[in-house]
Structure 1
Amino acid sequence: MKKVWDTDELATHWCLTFEDHHLLKNKLLKNHLGFSIQLKHFQYSGKFLHTHSDISTPPLEHVAEQLNVSVSDFESYDFNSRTGRRHCIEILNYLGIQRLTSTDKDAFSDWLRQEIFHQGTTISEAIELAYDWFKKQKVEYPTEAVLERLVRSAFYRYEQEFFNQIIRELRPSAKDKMDHCLENVERGIEFGRLKADPGRVGLESVLAEVEKLHFIQSLDLPQGLFQTCNIKALTHYYQRVSSESAWRVKEHPPEIRYALLGVFLFFRQREIIDGLIELFIQIVHRLTVKAERKLIKELLSDFRKVHGKSTLLFRIAEAALLNPEGRVKDVVYPVAGENVLQNLLKEFKSSGPGYRQQVHKIIRSSYGNHYRRMVPKILEALSFCSGNTQHRPVLEALEWIQHNRDNSQRFIPLDEGIPIDGVIRKQDQEVVLEEDAQGRERINRINYEICVLQALRDKLRCKEIWVMGADKFRNPDEDLPADFEDKREDYYLDLGHSTDSSEFIEKIQERMRSALTELDEGIPRNQKVRLLNRGKKNISITPFEAQEEPPSLTALKREIAGRWPMTSLLDVLKEADLRVGFTDHFKTVADREILDRQSLQRRLLLCLYGMGTNTGLKRVSGNRHGISYKELLHVRRRYVHKAALRNAIGQVANAIFSIRNADVWGEGSTSCASDSKKFGSWDQNLMTEWHIRYGGRGVMIYWHVEKKSTCIYSQLKRCSSSEVAAMIEGVLRHCTDMTIDRQYVDSHGQSEVAFAFCHLLGFDLLPRLKAIATQKLYRPDGDATEAFPNLERIMTRPINWELISQQYDEMVKYATALKQGTANPEAILRRFTRNNIQHPTYRALSELGKAVKTIFLCRYLGSEALRQEINEGLNVVENWNSANSFIFYGKGGEVATNRLEDQELSVLALHLLQICLVYVNTLMIQQVLTEPAWHSRMKQEDYRALSPLIYNHINPYGIFELDMDLRLPIELVA
């Protein structure tokens, strides 16, 4: 039972009614409290108490106060006596609860199989849901042992029915191929190769992925069956097969083996298709980037940019008019010398049509000699679709390329019906369309193919063209909630917006007018912000003044280092688990669990430590604890997966929130900051990219950290991925009790579309803008031209409210998809990029974002306190990033794996290890500061700068010893 209750909860669940008091008339006074507690506890949980420790103090005191008796009366109440058992029967009769019969057990089993397990509910989750069913049916809640037996039996029956359904739809030839795959014979693909992720971009990776896809497609899996199943229900079986070797899969009985492999291959097919699309996108991108890089390198070798071209042109024209009969050398050269004119010519060639032609020439050479061998393989393996007729020409062009792939003709007559409009951009038509000797236009075959592939890449990235059987690149309509029209009002209510677009718009207009008016009136007196008149950069903000140094913070850190000198980081992880119990979330993906929980706990802690420090499992195996590498590897494969790690992280974060002393850390916050950090990583995979800002190959980890250094969410991302999508995902998907209504980001975590979605989802986006000098404020309406005279220099056009009104329902639909989790935020935001600027919903979101951003800019410019708040929040994330390298020190801090799953698990293990450090440090700091001497010594500046993310007293190295009986000397927290 929960330990902390607020007043409203006590009043709701623990208040005795008149009828409840009436039951006490025929009972001894000493039993009144015990009977009442049993009654209210059964009404709350559906269970009877068996020991006095099962009830927490607040409800006990609340009921005792109503009865006007002492709490000590409860200690003498005997639950197992004849009186106690009679009271239980009386409570059941009073509440109309029937005894559990075999009929009820059968009905409960049917309910689980038909309505619960097909949703992906686990056994532990089903046990939690069981109470509502028994309460609704007014049937006595069974004992824990009986309930677990009933749930496990129902799950086994559900699983058998599901497996049999798959087996019935699998063809015999498919089963034979599956066996060949496991046996590693020549007629099939090796099972290990099927499990492998794509390698780096190249011909070998493409051919390997195409071969795997063709093998799975040849099995003719029951796609309809799998597509109607809940993805969460299938994921468990997919993880189960992924963690097993081919030999272990063969050990399963045929009715289980073929069903598990069917689910696994269905998932792998979607992943392979997504991987092929990513390979295609990167291949086409690499074609252009390499060509431009090569050409720029050639141009820059003897190129110097000419500045002041407009003035130079005026001076040349003036000199020519004054002496029209003179020679160029006598008239023009004195104004612009020969070197200047040569540089001017080179600059034009490097930016005009000549530049594009040279780039295309290099692209053509690379494509014709190398990439043309792999692209047709990808196009042949994938089925492209689009729900918009506007993009039909691109699909027709792909069909023509596939149909004529064996045709060696270099030039194609223009009158053969090959689509040009909607496929070839205007600036590229000059390199695609050429004239023959007779002056007739014809199509350059290879140049046309290159332009088609570039157009396809752009459409795939914004999902205007999608692929059959894909997951990330699936039909964008599947990303939206299917029942939106039926539950439209419920979804609007969930987001907190009116179904009337005019009411929604009026609220934003009023907020814009109010914010602009307040800024307009306050800007003349604002000494920190100046509005200039110097072209595009018209806003100037004075930097912050340095804050006072905290006088006692350094001494506090020395005190902690003195009391807990060189505390082992492994002991920190162990202490957090012994207090919080986060290892309980790690369940096996197999069908049964053999290890006892104590042995499993030890192995899990060592696994998590080896992964979180990046030292690896071999480095923490053996030693004095006697656990081998193979034993750790078994636990890692069977027990450690993303969902368990995220649940463990959420539990530790919630524990930090619950143990915090408000006198030390202040009241709970609803604000969070997010930022990314680059980690080096192996590059034989599709996740690793070259970082354009920081340089080097690697991946990005995007952190969400609240103001007192508790990280509530982390994500592994590509270096080029959208930080806006990562920001939104963290706010919506974090597994903690924290409610976020203010989100701090840097310039890369914001955009106009981001402002729009954050407003629709109900939280404020507060970015620190690097390009603040060039920002503009939008007008709430066209009549507001003279309404804000002090802001005229930074004002621009009015918002197009009509477009927002027209697309209001669509915008809410996409926001609902984000909140309900029907699609990944990055999949949703793919549609709303500058590549898809003609999409009406994108344009509406952009207009809404401009309005919301204008409101934010008014607050940002008008309040130095808000600017400081944002800066402080982002500094906390920077501090979190600084501790990453201290913990993730193994292998040079590089993510040393090419498997995407292993990369994600390493990041989550680092997150768990670091948040456990924050948890233990919080306890240590609070223990020191509860002493009167330290409490009186701390000043306001010390509390302002106080952070639990310190590690000068931590030792992450050395011999790894795990003694479960040795505890850190920290006082226990209730």
Structure 2
Amino acid sequence: MEEKNSVSINELPSYSESLALDWTLSADEIQFILNSAKGDNPILNFAIQLKSLQNSGVFHDYDNEDVLPEKITQYLAKQLSIEIISLTPISKNSQTTYHKKIQTYLNYQDFSDKQEAFLKKYIMHEMKTDLYSESVLIEKARDFLKTHKIMRPAVTVFDRLIASIHKESMHLLYDNLANKLTPDKKEKILLMLKRQPHLLSQANYYKKSPPEPSQLKINTFIKRFNELKEAGITEIEFSDITESIFDKLELLGRTYDASALSHISPENKKIALLLCTLSSASKNILDHILDMNSKLLAKKERISQNFYEKTLKKLNSQAKKGLKFIIKTTKQWRYHADPKNTTLFDFIETVDDKALDDSIAACEAMSTYQTSGFYQILENKYNDLRKYTTHLFELEFKGAAGTESILKSIHILKKLNDEKSNTLPSDAPTDFIPKMWKQAICNDTDGVSRRTWEMALYYAIKNNIEKGDIYLNHSKKHRYFWNTVYSESAWEKEKPLAFKSLGFPEKFDELLAVLKKEYFAGITLSKNGLKEKSFFHLDQNGKLKLKRDDALEIPESVKTLKKLIEARMPPVRIEKMLSDIEEAHYFSRFFLPPEGFDKKFAINKEMLHMGLVAQGTNLGFDDMSKSTLSATSLEELKHTAQWCIRPDSVTKTNNFFVEKHAEHPLAQLHGDFSRSSSDAERFCIQKSTDLASFYPKAFGYYQKVIAIYTHMSDQFSVFSTQVISCGVREASYVLDGLLNNLMITSPHFHCTDTGGFTHQLFALCYLLGFSFQPRLKDLAVQTLYKFNRNDHYGEIDSMFGGHIDIDCIAEQWEQLIRIVVSLKNHVAPAHLILQKLAARGSSDRVAKAIMGLGKLIKTIYILYYLSDESLRRKVQLQLNRGETRHYLARHIFFANQGEFKTADYEEMMSIASCLSLLSNAVLLWNTPRIYNIVAELRASGIHVDDEDLKKVSLLLFKHLIVHGTYDFRAANMPVVDYASNLKEDA
């Protein structure tokens, strides 16, 4: 039978959503139908074909197993004033005649060679914008043909054509990338693969995460970068392909293991994937080098400071004793009983010479050490640092205006290293040496030594790199600050719509009027709160004193309800829970290989679930393969994880879980997703990594830890997961989670603890439309700010300790919006911008303006927070929910004593993301069961108040079994072919 260019019911619009829109006939169409067909059945068939071509760009296929929904036939029949009992197919000849009439009426063209060329040109253009799969291209091609009123060819012909164009475009892309290299450089990168197969595995040699910094490790990373530079990788420009295409090819190349990558054909594809992977690696290596340098210098400074303080304490003790003796001796001289008859010689005879000399020496030592001791200790690290800095400064540093002396000094240092000279030239800049350092170490006779000059240069470069004023062009992270956000040229294009998109006026004065209104309303509230003395009061010195809020009350009725629910929650193994969710929601459809993977790929859902549990429980693939009753191949398990359990697929699944859970009435009872919180949970780590740091408060000084920073909604769902260092402020990462949220809904209010707060964050949250509501542990000593230094606010005036430079904010208003729009449009990671702004400090006008605005917003927030018990309780409740989630995470993440075994950042992110996925899976599994239990309790006559139900966590886990032997056979799910089109969730 000849194949038809027909539509299946699956392609037809859903009548439940668009019946009137898609199946309504115009008066002209009704007349055309009635003129073209005779008899109720032919008329209705004609109408169906007309609307099918109009709606879907193809005629309806009567041989398809799907049946046209009855509502559609009834709706069409009603418009045509005919009565139809059942629709029956018409003859092939009549069908052909009708198709020609309809095609002519709707001005559809036949699919000729000309139209094929037209379609090919369109597809080739689309493939230059992104790395689309064949299934996506088929959808795009269908829409294109429909838009241009071109008949779609038979299904097989059409699919083969798209596949052919897709293949051709991919080959052109691979050829274009491979041809960026000369033949000898192609050979070089292929030799990398042949000579070092063990290094180009998934944990790529050039993509390895950095360990704890040391001179040796930094040199190793510099060596890796130089290898890639010598191979010509760093010289390649990719401006002719989009960032999205590059990123997807890089991910694809990184996902292949060495063996598979070496067997890829054609060769240009292999070279293209390697080129993108290695180019990205070279940028990351530069970032790692500068990060390790910064951390090592900070470590040397910290060690020096600790040693200095320890020694200073001893010297101070000795100097105190000596000072007492000197004071005693001075008093004896000053208040001598018979000064007229006592010579100096006689007086000296009465003094203990040794004790006096020792006392003077102790005081002098103390004075000298206070002035220069720290810098001398720090300079003693010079020889250690020189073991790698000679190589570090061979890199091509660039600088912004104002860094000319540092750039000149780098050039001089390179020359001194090359010439092996210790003599500083007379024109060597010294303005970057801190005044205290110069005064402590240098003298007028000898001037600045090479050691002092070079050590000061190291720290000047470090500080300016953190600001974004000294940078490396090839780096991803350490770029010039104003190239991290929208560049000047890009901003000129974006600026016309920027203010409107954010909802702010072009002049700050208009917004200032709004902020002043809120500010003075807060002043009034605080004055009233002070009179009531319910939460705060001022002591006799005018200092703010707080009364601790009562803990959030948990009534007995809530405790009883929780026990009733927990007792009725059915015990479930974690693998069975995933199987239940799979059956209900088919979430495995999100776990696809990276785009560009052109082989047919089938995955066993059992293996997928096994991989998710292995990661999320910290058991690992090896131990999981030994702990399951399923017939498990370790290689198959690792292969599934390698290709499917990736950050983007886990994120998509997590987002789906969160949105699906938000639809449940019990989730909506707890919250409406308008409020969220973020907090870090810390875990020990067994391997060396630059992310690890000591956290003495909870882990002492012997165990290094990392943090998993999660964002959680008021419905208990986790919508962002990041692995971060405990050595940086959590506040840097608050915005990343909020801005990277790709779900339909987004929280408006966001809570953190004190560690999640900075002035810059207050400002940026406000400008991005988030109401930032931290719980400030040191609230009583937080500085509140006035608009003007001379303003007076009556009885609460003593609460204020500073003023805001409003003129600076107004002056830099456009630049603030430039930064905010850059963040909103994901031009740069939010944590990077926040860290650079913090490093730039008040000496930079833009950074000062952002800090000033943040001080204003913080002041308004605190004024309201002090006076509004409801606000304080909402913040407390949301933070308590986050703590509840930590308990569940600890329960799930049980293996290896809850300690990370890997130092690779991507592996840590995969584990952390899978932990969040399992947490959300528990939530999705628990919620309907809790809802049903409550319904049963009510049906049995037990009263359950909604207010009590709101206070029962949805993250109950006593019934969740995570230990023991796993049995994924309970699912026994079929192999799924992911090369086929994905079905939408029912």
Out of 688, 692, 701, which is 2:692 matched to? Answer: 688
Taking the TM superposition and a 5 Å limit, the aligned residue runs for 1:621-636 are 621=625, 623-636=628-641
Q: Which whole-Å deviations, capped at 9, do the CAs of 1:395-454 have from their partners, x for residues lacking one?
A: 222221221025666564xx7011111x1011110244235xxxx232222122111111
Amino acid at match of 1:367: Y
Out of 766, 769, 784, which is 1:759 matched to? Answer: 766
Deviation at 1:765, TM superposition (A): 0.6
Amino acid at match of 2:861: F
Q: Is 1:519 equivalent to 2:531 in the alignment?
A: no
Report the Cα distance in structure 2 between the residues aligned to 1:819 and 1:115, rounded to whole angstroms: 26
**Change beyond 3 A, Cα 1:65–1:77:** closer
Contact 1:560 1:924 in 2 (8 A): no
Deviation at 1:726, TM superposition (A): 1.3
Which one has the largest radius of gyration? 2
Report the Cα distance in structure 2 between the residues aligned to 1:40 and 1:514, rounded to whole angstroms: 60
Amino acid at match of 1:373: K
Task: Name 1:506's counterpart in structure 2.
Answer: 513
Contact 2:134 2:162 in 1 (8 A): yes
**Change beyond 3 A, Cα 1:449–1:219:** same
Taking the TM superposition and a 5 Å limit, the aligned residue runs for 1:88-167 are 96-98=107-109, 100-127=111-138, 129-130=140-141, 132-139=143-150, 149-167=160-178
Task: Name 1:856's counterpart in structure 2.
Answer: 861
Contact 1:532 1:793 in 2 (8 A): no
Task: Name 1:596's counterpart in structure 2.
Answer: 602
Report the Cα distance in structure 2 between the residues aligned to 1:765 and 1:925, rounded to whole angstroms: 32
Task: Name 1:294's counterpart in structure 2.
Answer: 307
Task: Name 1:916's counterpart in structure 2.
Answer: 921
Task: Name 2:350's counterpart in structure 1.
Answer: none
Task: Name 1:433's counterpart in structure 2.
Answer: 442
**Change beyond 3 A, Cα 1:61–1:49:** closer
Report the Cα distance in structure 2 between the residues aligned to 1:607 and 1:545, rounded to whole angstroms: 41
> Helix, strand or coil for the counterpart of 2:773?
strand
Q: Is 1:951 equivalent to 2:963 in the alignment?
A: no
Deviation at 1:106, TM superposition (A): 3.3
> Helix, strand or coil for the counterpart of 2:129?
helix
Report the Cα distance in structure 2 between the residues aligned to 1:547 and 1:344, rounded to whole angstroms: 64
**Change beyond 3 A, Cα 1:965–1:209:** closer
Contact 1:529 1:541 in 2 (8 A): yes
Report the Cα distance in structure 2 between the residues aligned to 1:88 and 1:780, rounded to whole angstroms: 75
Task: Name 2:538's counterpart in structure 1.
Answer: 531
Report the Cα distance in structure 1 between the residues aligned to 2:153 and 2:331, rounded to whole angstroms: 102
Report the Cα distance in structure 2 between the residues aligned to 1:455 and 1:901, rounded to whole angstroms: 32
> Helix, strand or coil for the counterpart of 1:963?
helix
> Helix, strand or coil for the counterpart of 2:631?
coil
**Change beyond 3 A, Cα 1:33–1:25:** closer
Amino acid at match of 2:483: E
Deviation at 1:825, TM superposition (A): 1.0
Q: Which whole-Å deviations, capped at 9, do the CAs of 1:895-926 have from their partners, x for residues lacking one?
A: 21121111111111111111111111112112
Task: Name 2:5's counterpart in structure 1.
Answer: none
Q: Is 1:178 equivalent to 2:189 in the alignment?
A: yes
Report the Cα distance in structure 1 between the residues aligned to 2:85 and 2:486, rounded to whole angstroms: 53
Report the Cα distance in structure 1 between the residues aligned to 2:359 and 2:27, rounded to whole angstroms: 96
Task: Name 1:942's counterpart in structure 2.
Answer: 948
Deviation at 1:835, TM superposition (A): 4.7
Q: Which whole-Å deviations, capped at 9, do the CAs of 1:470-522 have from their partners, x for residues lacking one?
A: 11112333322353212312222221212233323332233323333343355
Task: Name 1:361's counterpart in structure 2.
Answer: 376
Segment of structure 1 superposing worse, 25-34 or 176-185: 25-34
> Helix, strand or coil for the counterpart of 2:447?
strand
**Change beyond 3 A, Cα 1:3–1:866:** farther
Report the Cα distance in structure 2 between the residues aligned to 1:417 and 1:715, rounded to whole angstroms: 48
Task: Name 2:841's counterpart in structure 1.
Answer: 836
Q: Which whole-Å deviations, capped at 9, do the CAs of 1:711-738 have from their partners, x for residues lacking one?
A: 1111111222342231111111123222
Q: Which whole-Å deviations, capped at 9, do the CAs of 1:200-244 have from their partners, x for residues lacking one?
A: 312331222122111111122374532443232122222222233
Structure 2: runs of 5 or more not aligned: 1-9, 340-354, 974-984
**Change beyond 3 A, Cα 1:203–1:255:** same
**Change beyond 3 A, Cα 1:793–1:190:** closer
Report the Cα distance in structure 2 between the residues aligned to 1:280 and 1:293, rounded to whole angstroms: 20
Deviation at 1:700, TM superposition (A): 1.3
Taking the TM superposition and a 5 Å limit, the aligned residue runs for 1:895-910 are 895-910=900-915
Report the Cα distance in structure 2 between the residues aligned to 1:88 and 1:724, rounded to whole angstroms: 64
Deviation at 1:666, TM superposition (A): 4.9
Out of 598, 611, 617, which is 1:607 matched to? Answer: 611
Segment of structure 1 superposing worse, 819-828 or 120-129: 120-129
Report the Cα distance in structure 2 between the residues aligned to 1:289 and 1:733, rounded to whole angstroms: 35
Report the Cα distance in structure 2 between the residues aligned to 1:611 and 1:462, rounded to whole angstroms: 37
Task: Name 2:980's counterpart in structure 1.
Answer: none
Report the Cα distance in structure 2 between the residues aligned to 1:523 and 1:701, rounded to whole angstroms: 40
Q: Which whole-Å deviations, capped at 9, do the CAs of 1:312-350 have from their partners, x for residues lacking one?
A: 99xx99x9899866899xxxxxxxxxx9xx999999988
Task: Name 1:225's counterpart in structure 2.
Answer: 237
Deviation at 1:247, TM superposition (A): 2.9
Deviation at 1:620, TM superposition (A): 2.2
Report the Cα distance in structure 2 between the residues aligned to 1:120 and 1:835, rounded to whole angstroms: 38
Q: Is 1:577 equivalent to 2:589 in the alignment?
A: no
Report the Cα distance in structure 2 between the residues aligned to 1:764 and 1:10, rounded to whole angstroms: 38
Amino acid at match of 1:488: K
Amino acid at match of 1:294: F
Report the Cα distance in structure 2 between the residues aligned to 1:127 and 1:106, rounded to whole angstroms: 16
Deviation at 1:549, TM superposition (A): 2.2
Report the Cα distance in structure 2 between the residues aligned to 1:320 and 1:819, rounded to whole angstroms: 70
**Change beyond 3 A, Cα 1:571–1:322:** farther
Deviation at 1:544, TM superposition (A): 2.3
> Helix, strand or coil for the counterpart of 1:830?
helix
Amino acid at match of 2:250: Y
Amino acid at match of 2:232: D
Task: Name 2:258's counterpart in structure 1.
Answer: 246
Contact 1:646 1:735 in 2 (8 A): no
Contact 1:304 1:343 in 2 (8 A): no
Amino acid at match of 2:591: F
Deviation at 1:615, TM superposition (A): 0.4
Identity of aligned residues (%): 18
Report the Cα distance in structure 2 between the residues aligned to 1:85 and 1:45, rounded to whole angstroms: 18
Report the Cα distance in structure 1 between the residues aligned to 2:359 and 2:868, rounded to whole angstroms: 48
Q: Which whole-Å deviations, capped at 9, do the CAs of 1:172-215 have from their partners, x for residues lacking one?
A: 221222232222179x9977633433333123312221221111
Amino acid at match of 1:230: T
**Change beyond 3 A, Cα 1:304–1:722:** same
Amino acid at match of 1:425: P
The alignment's TM-score, normalised by the length of structure 2, stands at 0.84
**Change beyond 3 A, Cα 1:424–1:515:** same
Contact 2:681 2:886 in 1 (8 A): yes
Deviation at 1:706, TM superposition (A): 0.6
Report the Cα distance in structure 2 between the residues aligned to 1:880 and 1:116, rounded to whole angstroms: 43
Structure 1: runs of 5 or more not aligned: 329-338, 968-972
Report the Cα distance in structure 2 between the residues aligned to 1:644 and 1:346, rounded to whole angstroms: 66
Segment of structure 1 superposing worse, 116-125 or 839-848: 116-125
Q: Which whole-Å deviations, capped at 9, do the CAs of 1:873-900 have from their partners, x for residues lacking one?
A: 1111111112111111111111211211
Task: Name 1:333's counterpart in structure 2.
Answer: none
Report the Cα distance in structure 2 between the residues aligned to 1:446 and 1:151, rounded to whole angstroms: 66
Report the Cα distance in structure 1 between the residues aligned to 2:456 and 2:925, rounded to whole angstroms: 58
**Change beyond 3 A, Cα 1:542–1:190:** closer
**Change beyond 3 A, Cα 1:241–1:14:** closer
Report the Cα distance in structure 2 between the residues aligned to 1:923 and 1:837, rounded to whole angstroms: 52
Amino acid at match of 2:944: M
Report the Cα distance in structure 1 between the residues aligned to 2:522 and 2:68, rounded to whole angstroms: 52
Task: Name 2:427's counterpart in structure 1.
Answer: 417
Segment of structure 1 superposing worse, 451-460 or 202-211: 202-211
Q: Pairwise CA RMSD of aligned residues?
A: 4.3
Deviation at 1:592, TM superposition (A): 3.2
Amino acid at match of 1:106: A
**Change beyond 3 A, Cα 1:914–1:130:** farther
Contact 2:249 2:273 in 1 (8 A): yes
The alignment's TM-score, normalised by the length of structure 1, stands at 0.85
How many residue pairs were aligned? Answer: 926
Deviation at 1:122, TM superposition (A): 4.6
Contact 1:31 1:77 in 2 (8 A): no
**Change beyond 3 A, Cα 1:353–1:608:** farther
> Helix, strand or coil for the counterpart of 1:441?
coil
Taking the TM superposition and a 5 Å limit, the aligned residue runs for 1:799-838 are 799-838=804-843
